[in-house]
Amino acid sequence: MSGERLGEFELIRKAFQDGSPEPHSTTSVVNGDDASVHAVPDGMELVISTDASVSGVHWPDGFPLDSAADRATCAALSDLAAMGAEACWAWASVISCSADDLVELGEGVNAALTRYSVELSGGDTACSSVNALTLTVGGMVPVGKAMCRNWAKKGDDVWIIGRAGFSSLGLKQWMAGMEEGYFKRYFEEIKPKLEQGVRLRELGVRCCIDVSDGVLQDSGHVARASNVGMTLELSDFPGWDLLCHKVGEKSAIHAVVSGGEDYALLFTAPEGMGFLDNFATQIGVCREGVGVEIQLNGTALEGLASGYDHFA
């Protein structure tokens, strides 16, 4: 904001559309009409997800708004990654406390979408007493190939791409005002694993979820939807030794099991797909029974806290 008063429509243009990606090749009616219009080519299906992010819930007061909006956008894109979809379009609904906040939030949305070459296809804005965003994102997968939660089979291996627990420890360091906290950057920047999701789907993986609410809750979604049990070994998680070294075993357990917002991809695959080792880490197996058992060095842990409940 340069001091002069911009109208709502100019504000939106300035914030959201400055240097933004070209429309996607499938788009026939661009941002600015009552709705956007897109072709979905033969043999492809539409994949859509929506994600809310709210000040004081998904980011702490004082956190830079452009970073908050960048995170919100990446969190939404992560759901497309977990389905193995190519990300194409986004629609942003932004509620902000002021015109200045709107511009900062819009710049964050625009930055993330530009980084991942995703078109902003539409949106809406309103003024209120909180800052909040809803990002709806759309993409495409070949018909019948979306990676879902209900495809895990007994005997499948469980794998992860990305770190778990690092983001929640980063948030704690940010809240404590640490200037040089090791984990801070894991909270500040989310990297939706879009390329990895597409690659997994191309390799034939059918069951995947993004870990947004802690490993226990999200692996539990897969186990329940697939009607299998699951055993996970904490010491096999990427960065486990580092976590223990930095914060101690007890905090490390809590961070991996219950800490949210890492946006790792957790997936299952039949035994014998060892080549996945090149870019993923095996952390457990699917078995008979129900529920998820979390082990540390072969011993089951009890009384673990599940992920975040917004209305607890």
Size of the site for a copy of itself (CB under 8 A): 73
Work out the burial of residue 199: count CB atoms within 10 Å of its CB; fewer than 13 is exposed, 13-18 middle, 19 or more buried: middle
Residues 6+ apart with CB under 8 A from 3: none
Considering only 93, 114, 282, 295, the residue that binds a copy of itself (CB under 8 A) is: 93
Whole-number Å distance between alpha carbons of 281 and 237: 7
Q: Is 161 in the site for a copy of itself (CB under 8 A)?
A: no
Whole-number Å distance between alpha carbons of 154 and 270: 9
Q: What sections of 84-211 are H helices per DSSP?
A: 99-115, 166-175, 184-188, 194-202
Whichever of 2 and 28 has its CB closer to a copy of itself, that residue is 28
Q: Which stretch binds a copy of itself (CB under 8 A): 36-44, 105-113, 186-194, 229-237?
A: 36-44
Min. distance of Cβ 289 from a copy of itself in angstroms? Answer: 21
Whole-number Å distance between alpha carbons of 108 and 140: 24
Considering only 8, 189, 195, 241, the residue that binds a copy of itself (CB under 8 A) is: 8
Question: DSSP letters along 263-296, please?
Answer: -EEEEEE-TT-GGGGGT-EEEEEEESSSEEEEEE
Whole-number Å distance between alpha carbons of 150 and 222: 6
- Residues between 45 and 74 with contacts to a copy of itself, criterion CB under 8 A: 45-58
Whichever of 151 and 182 has its CB closer to a copy of itself, that residue is 151
- Residues between 189 and 228 with contacts to a copy of itself, criterion CB under 8 A: 208-210, 225
Q: Is 278 in the site for a copy of itself (CB under 8 A)?
A: no
Tell me, letter by letter, the H, E, C secondary structure of 64-89. CHHHHHHHHHHHHHHHHHHHCCEEEE
Q: Is 95 in the site for a copy of itself (CB under 8 A)?
A: yes
Q: Which stretch binds a copy of itself (CB under 8 A): 108-116, 144-152, 227-235, 285-293?
A: 144-152
Considering only 4, 22, 61, 128, the residue that binds a copy of itself (CB under 8 A) is: 128
Q: Is 94 in the site for a copy of itself (CB under 8 A)?
A: yes
- Residues between 97 and 126 with contacts to a copy of itself, criterion CB under 8 A: 98-99, 102, 121-126
Min. distance of Cβ 299 from a copy of itself in angstroms? Answer: 28
Considering only 16, 59, 89, 183, the residue that binds a copy of itself (CB under 8 A) is: 89
Q: Is 32 in the site for a copy of itself (CB under 8 A)?
A: yes
Query: In angstroms, what CA-CA distances link 311 with 57, 79, 259?
Result: 11, 22, 17
Q: Is 36 in the site for a copy of itself (CB under 8 A)?
A: yes
Considering only 80, 232, 247, 269, the residue that binds a copy of itself (CB under 8 A) is: 80
Burial letters for 237-258: b for 16+ Cβ neighbours within 10 Å, e otherwise?
bbbbeebbeebeeebbbbbbbb
Whole-number Å distance between alpha carbons of 36 and 214: 35
Considering only 7, 19, 177, 272, the residue that binds a copy of itself (CB under 8 A) is: 7
Considering only 2, 4, 22, 34, the residue that binds a copy of itself (CB under 8 A) is: 34
Considering only 74, 82, 109, 285, the residue that binds a copy of itself (CB under 8 A) is: 82
Whole-number Å distance between alpha carbons of 135 and 58: 13
Q: Is 184 in the site for a copy of itself (CB under 8 A)?
A: no
Whichever of 121 and 231 has its CB closer to a copy of itself, that residue is 121
Tell the residue number behind the tokens 């870990």, with chain if given: 211
Min. distance of Cβ 277 from a copy of itself in angstroms? Answer: 24
